[in-house]
Amino acid sequence: MTLKQLRYLVAIAEAGSFSNAARRAFIAQPALSRQIGLLESELEMQLLARQHDGIELTDAGRQLYEVARSVIQKLDSVKDELKSSRGNPMGHVAISIPATASSLLLPTIITQAQAKFPGIKLTIWDGLSREGGQAIELGKVDFGVVPNAEELEHVIAEPVFTEDLYWVGTPGQEADQSSITLAEAAATRLVMPPRALHLRRRIEQAAMETGVTLDSSYEQQSAPGISSLVRAGLAATISNWPPLTELLEPISARLIVEPRITRTISLAYSQHKPLSFAATCMRDLVRGVLVEAVVDDRWKGSLIERAPEETLSAVDH
């Protein structure tokens, strides 16, 4: 069994066919088939089943694919680490960020990463907080920005700031920027995200603790869907600061008090996937982007003071 054969197996599994894998790996298809045949002969088991529309991994093939992918990722990571220097980190780094904060974070992260770390190949997933959390737990990304780190398993979380939640609606002749109690907000007709999302669960938890009943008349998964109903005057919503400010103009965003509803925004990564040097550099960069957004009032919240050892670690990088 050779590393080359394992790479070919991974390529075939991910490409879905021998022909597609051969093109991607720049190898003749007969040679690719021969290498897989040798691997199957050595292991004395079938790894791939040919279908009319491609290939399918057998149970043994699927098990070996998972092992091979992990081994290749670790070896490639080691090579990147060896090539890296303290001033020039290299390698691939994958990050997850909440879709609702994508327009706020994405351009800044990419711009700063290109300027500071040209040797890093960056992939950023922007999706629902639930999807981002799962990607972190499974090690599909190196780290992520999440509001629900306390719900994740086997992750290391570094809290950055607490954010406030706001009642958001279309204003009358003059935008009302005063605070609003949760009871007052709950009495309005609301459009809410699904219960599967952390934001909805946090709001309902606060309502239950306060003995307030929410008037959740509508449910929409996307920020554009929610904003369309608010813009039309059909409902208000409860949200954190970033997602709706660009979609609703003008808006009336009123801080919810009695009780104040907050969430902790953290940087988190899997306990089973330690950060590489490149990922550590990007983690510190993203932390800086988050801190700047809070200081500049583009993301309403309160910074959490870092422990002295954390601060020293960041300075070292």
Residue 199 sits in a domain of what CATH number? Answer: 3.40.190.290
Q: What's the confidence (pLDDT) of residue 143?
A: 96
123 and 158 in a single domain? The answer is yes
What is the mean predicted confidence (pLDDT) over 284-312? Answer: 84
Distance CA 12, CA 4 (A): 12
Chosen domain end from 240, 260, 280: 260
Chosen domain end from 260, 281, 306: 260
Surface-to-core class of residue 312, CB atoms within 10 Å of its CB (0-12 exposed, 13-18 middle, 19+ buried): exposed
Q: What's the confidence (pLDDT) of residue 128?
A: 76
Which residues make beta-bridge pairs with 237?
Answer: 168
Domains identified in the chain, total number: 3
What is the mean predicted confidence (pLDDT) over 222-237? Answer: 87
What is the mean predicted confidence (pLDDT) over 259-264? Answer: 94
198 and 216 in a single domain? The answer is yes
> Is the pLDDT reported for residue 161 higher than 60?
yes
Which residues make beta-bridge pairs with 144?
Answer: 96, 268
Distance CA 16, CA 39 (A): 18
229 and 275 in a single domain? The answer is no
CATH of the domain at 122: 3.40.190.10
256 and 177 in a single domain? The answer is yes
Q: How many CB atoms lie under 10 A from the CB of residue 317?
A: 12
> Which position has the higher pLDDT, 127 or 118?
118
22 and 149 in a single domain? The answer is no
> Is the pLDDT reported for residue 249 higher than 70?
no
CA-wise closest residue to 233 among 165, 171, 181, 179:
171
67 and 94 in a single domain? The answer is no
235 and 182 in a single domain? The answer is yes
311 and 201 in a single domain? The answer is no
> Which position has the higher pLDDT, 198 or 290?
290
Helix axis angle, 29-43 to 3-15, nearest 10°:
110
> Is the pLDDT reported for residue 317 higher than 50?
no
CATH of the domain at 53: 1.10.10.10
Separation in Å, CA 124 to CA 45, 96, 104, 107, 212: 38, 6, 13, 11, 38
157 and 170 in a single domain? The answer is no
270 and 156 in a single domain? The answer is yes
pLDDT digits (tens, 9 = 90+) for 30-86: 998 999 999 999 999 999 988 877 888 999 988 998 898 888 877 776 666 666 655
Distance CA 94, CA 308 (A): 27
* Backbone torsions φ then ψ of 257, nearest 5 degrees: -130, 175
Range of the domain at 20: 3-82
36 contacts 47 by C-beta, under 8 angstroms: yes
Average pLDDT, the chain: 86
215 and 295 in a single domain? The answer is no
Chosen domain end from 82, 97, 119: 82
196 and 311 in a single domain? The answer is no
